[in-house]
Amino acid sequence: MKCIVCQDGETRAGATTVTLARKGHMVVIKDVPAEICEHCGEDYVDPHIIQDIVASIDKMPENDILVDVRHYVPGPATC
Ligand SMILES: [Zn+2]
């Protein structure tokens, strides 16, 4: 698809890193499938994937970790 940020590049399937804040600490999810703009590098992550990540973060137990770095694990299909 056409990039909506630079309106110049085309996006290609790739992977990106998503960072979310949760109750005072950061959760960094690596290797999240995304469409990446080949021109400006803007990443477009499927909203369903973001929902999966947020849902999985909500299930994590409370702890004292300030920055939690994880690999993306595909959740159950949500369609
Ligand atoms: Zn772009």
Confidence (pLDDT) at 69: 94
Domain locations along the chain: 11-71
Q: How confident is the model at residue 62 (pLDDT cuts 50, 70, 90)?
A: confident
pLDDT higher at 12 or 62: 12
Q: How confident is the model at residue 29 (pLDDT cuts 50, 70, 90)?
A: very high
**6 C-alpha to ligand 1 centroid (Å):** 4
Question: Any idea which architecture 11-71 has in CATH?
Answer: Roll (3.10)
**17 C-alpha to ligand 1 centroid (Å):** 17
CA angle 77, 13, 68 (to 5 degrees): 65
Q: Is residue 78's pLDDT more than 80?
A: no
pLDDT higher at 23 or 17: 17
